[in-house]
Amino acid sequence: MTSSEIAGAHRRARGRARLAVGVVSAGRVGAALGSAWEHAGHHVVAASAISEQSRRRAAQRLPNAEIVPPDEVAARADLLLLAVPDDELVGLVRGLAATGAVRPGQIVVHTAGARGVAVLAPLAERGALPLALHPAMTFTGREEDTARLAACCFGITAADDAGWAVAQALVLEVGGEPVRIAEADRPLYHAALAHGANHLVTLVRDAVELLGGITGDATPPERLLAPLLSAALDNALRHGDRALTGPVARGDAEAVATHLAVLTAADPAVGAAYRALSRRTAQRAREGGLISDTAARAVLEELA
């Protein structure tokens, strides 16, 4: 990509011209980000959508976009968004490179969390500006997804400072916060986010189901858990390991043994998860100086 092409891409991304945006495909992420850029003043001209659900989502969230195949989406776009699952990205990039749909000066963005810009090399060789731009957010496929982008960070990887400037502008104009992630760090970056967010959902749903037969219809389990879990998350983010509470963090081995027994009786899979997480909690509590080595060993023995 020549310096003049980079400068042109930079000017367009800074909002000095309205970008024609193409979205491949209109899934949860693609629809949300495409809609956010449209609200920022750009124009989503085309999108690809295979499933009926994706077509409905495109009609609702990207109403001005014509539904066409991916190569036609690319041909119409100044800013091409590749919002496909990680395992589909390599094949999509190769296919777009083979069709010649991508042109010099075009901005090509993918949203795969674990990949950097190396995966876009076939398109960069054709003169496109490659960017990895991953919103650190969970998506439901509903309208609130677009609004949440304004409050989240975006993990950005670019080939150089010029690319970073373009990516930064694209994020800032939807209200997000750009965070620079090195190419080599992308897999760990994504794993950390998935470990925190995905497993949090699993923990919460397990707790809801365990309480479902106890609280009755008068008080839904979600109502019982919401203040507790909200406070725990807030404390963990603000205070680190000092936010740890409960029998493991107190070194109460007898209570831990009781918890393990009743959870295993209720659901062996939940019992196994409690065992694994309690071990990790005991390690963190010991390393953080919250409990003594003796107390930690007593808890770990009950979990063995």
Digit-coded pLDDT (tens) for 226-238: 999 999 999 999 9
Beta-bridged to residue 108, according to DSSP, are 80, 130
d(CA 179, CA 246) in angstroms, rounded, equals: 34
Task: Give the side-chain half-sphere CA count within 13 A for 59.
Answer: 7
**At 121, is the secondary structure helix, strand, or coil?**
helix
User: Do residues 295 and 167 share a domain?
Assistant: no
Q: Which domain, by its residues, includes 208?
A: 189-303
Of 5-19, 24-38, 168-182, 184-198, the one with minimum mean pLDDT is: 5-19
pLDDT in tens, 43-77: 999 999 999 999 999 999 999 999 999 999 999 99
Chain length of the chain: 304
pLDDT given for residue 158 in this prediction:
98
Q: What is the arithmetic mean of pLDDT over 37-47?
A: 96
Q: Verify that 126 and 197 share a domain, yes or no.
A: no
What long-range pairs does 143-150 form, CB within 8 A, spacing at least 24?
A: 143/61, 145/28, 145/31, 145/32, 146/32, 146/35, 146/36, 146/39, 146/61, 148/32, 149/32, 149/33, 149/36, 149/174, 149/175, 149/176, 150/36, 150/174, 150/175, 150/176
Q: Indicate if the pLDDT at residue 271 is higher than 90.
A: yes
Instruction: Please check whether residues 113 and 203 belong to one and the same domain.
Output: no
pLDDT at 13: 52
The whole-angstrom separation of Cα 18 and Cα 24 is 19
One domain for residues 165 and 244: no
Let me know whether 10 and 121 are in one domain.
yes
Examine the pLDDT at 8 and tell me if it is beyond 90: no
Per-residue pLDDT of 109-141, as tens digits, reads 999 999 999 999 999 999 999 999 999 999 988
- Same domain? For 36 and 119 the reply is yes
Number of domains in the chain: 2
d(CA 114, CA 126): 23
pLDDT of residue 185: 98
| pLDDT tier at 218, thresholds 50, 70, 90 | confident
Query: pLDDT band at residue 15, thresholds of 50, 70 and 90?
Result: very low
Residues 111 and 75 occupy one common structural domain: yes
pLDDT at 202 exceeding the cut of 50: yes
* pLDDT reported for residue 3: 44
N-to-C CA span, the chain = 58
Same domain, 117 and 219: no
- Taking residues 258-279, report their average pLDDT: 97
Q: Do 167 and 82 belong together in one domain?
A: yes
